[in-house]
Amino acid sequence: MLGPDFNLHMDIQQAVNFAIHECFEAEGIEFAYPTQTLYLERSAAREETAG
C-alpha cells in the first residue's frame, strides 16, 4: 500500500486477514488461543494466621 488513504489500507488488510483465515479453515488449521497461567503461592505465615 503506497497511498495515504488509511481506511483503504485497513480495508485491504482486513480482506487479506479474512482470506488467510478462510484458507486455514479450509485446511482444518486452528489458531492457538492466547492464554496465560498465573500460579500463586500462599506463604506459610499467612496460612498459620488464616487457619
Place of cell 488488510: 13
Q: What is the mean pLDDT of residues 12-37?
A: 94
Q: Is pLDDT at 49 greater than 80 in this prediction?
A: no
Q: Is pLDDT at 51 greater than 70 in this prediction?
A: no
Domain boundaries, the chain: 6-50
Q: What is the mean pLDDT of residues 15-39?
A: 93
Rounded Cα distance between 51 and 40, Å, is 18
Quote the strand ranges of the chain, DSSP E.
none
Residues listed for the chain = 51
**What single-letter DSSP state applies at residue 3?**
S
Determine the distance from the C-alpha atom of residue 10 to the mean position of all C-alpha atoms in its chain, rounded to a whole number. Answer: 19
Q: Is pLDDT at 13 greater than 80 in this prediction?
A: yes
Q: What is the mean pLDDT of residues 8-28?
A: 96
- Tell me the whole-structure pTM to 2 decimals: 0.56
Rounded Cα distance between 43 and 25, Å, is 47
